[in-house]
């Protein structure tokens, strides 16, 4: 079985602009990660998306730990061999995925649909401790929400009740499945075309 530390992952960055190498029709080799699927052909993780750098992917191919499902147009070669860079690979051995996504800034925003949990605004988003830290409020799924900076300022170091600012909904720890459902509405901007089939089951319906 692959060791967890082998699994290098890259996160989404919605604010990232278009990749300049892409607009030229050429991908830099460093920008050719492989989407890693589990043995059941579902992504190993969604948030962050399970991506391996091309070197790790090729190493896993040679170690016969993965099958190549799709590849980039780009080739790498040495004197003795040439190989198209894999864009989608699948583990040969099933790894039990975790039920819950990582607690990250991106994932909190995604759970809260990139909107303030007090007024619904999508602008100037920050994070708010629902129960303030000075009252023992923790930095956790259940106590952190997306909040616009005006609401954050207005609420200050008070609880929603003290501030008269009820939450639009209770902050809960989402399952991977719930977060994935949210993610469909906010797709990242750097999906390679060969990844889409494995991320969205109804991609053809949306096209």
The minimum distance between CB 121 and Zn ion, in angstroms, equals: 5
The minimum distance between CB 143 and Zn ion, in angstroms, equals: 17
DSSP per residue, 115-181: S-TTT---SSEEEEESS-GGGT--SSTTTEEEEEHHHHHHHTTS-HHHHT---SS---PPPHHHHHH
Contact between 70 and 17 under an 8 Å Cβ cutoff? The reply is no
For residues 74 and 175, what is the distance between their CA atoms, to the nearest angstrom?
36
Contact between 149 and 123 under an 8 Å Cβ cutoff? The reply is no
Residues 138-167 that bind Zn ion (CB under 5 A): 148, 151
52 near Zn ion, rule: CB under 5 A:
no
Task: State the binding string over 116-135 for Zn ion (x if CB under 5 A, else -).
Answer: x-xx-x--------------
Residue with Cβ nearer Zn ion (52 or 118): 118
The minimum distance between CB 117 and Zn ion, in angstroms, equals: 8
Which range touches Zn ion (CB under 5 A), out of 62-70, 111-119, 138-146, 193-201?
111-119
Residue with Cβ nearer Zn ion (121 or 178): 121
For residues 147 and 129, what is the distance between their CA atoms, to the nearest angstrom?
9
The minimum distance between CB 118 and Zn ion, in angstroms, equals: 5
Residue with Cβ nearer Zn ion (119 or 172): 119
Query: C-alpha angle with apex 134: 129 to 137, nearest 5 degrees?
Result: 40
Which range touches Zn ion (CB under 5 A), out of 2-10, 109-117, 162-170, 185-193?
109-117
Locate 121 and state its tokens: 């605004």
Which range touches Zn ion (CB under 5 A), out of 12-20, 75-83, 102-110, 113-121?
113-121
For residues 94 and 169, what is the distance between their CA atoms, to the nearest angstrom?
36
Contact positions vs Zn ion (CB under 5 A): 116, 118-119, 121, 148, 151
């Amino acid at each position: 079985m692959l060791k967890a530390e082998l699994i290098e992952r890259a996160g989404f960055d919605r604010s990232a602009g278009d990749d300049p190498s892409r607009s030229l029709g050429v991908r830099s080799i460093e920008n050719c990660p492989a989407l890693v699927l589990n043995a059941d052909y579902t992504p190993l993780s969604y948030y962050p998306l399970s991506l391996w750098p091309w070197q790790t992917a090729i190493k896993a191919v040679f170690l016969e730990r993965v099958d190549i499902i799709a590849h980039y147009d780009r080739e790498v070669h040495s004197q003795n061999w040439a190989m198209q860079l894999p864009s989608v690979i699948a583990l040969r051995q099933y790894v039990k995925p975790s039920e819950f996504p990582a607690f990250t800034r991106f994932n909190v925003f995604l759970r809260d649909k990139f909107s303030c949990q007090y007024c619904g605004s999508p602008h100037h988003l920050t994070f708010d401790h629902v129960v303030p830290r000075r009252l023992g409020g923790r930095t956790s799924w259940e106590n952190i929400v997306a909040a616009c900076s005006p609401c954050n300022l207005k609420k200050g170091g008070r609880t929603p009740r003290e501030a008269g600012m009820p939450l639009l909904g209770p902050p809960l720890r989402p399952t991977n499945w719930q977060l994935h459902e949210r993610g469909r509405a906010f797709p990242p901007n750097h999906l390679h075309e060969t990844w889409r089939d494995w991320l969205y089951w109804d991609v053809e319906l949306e096209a």
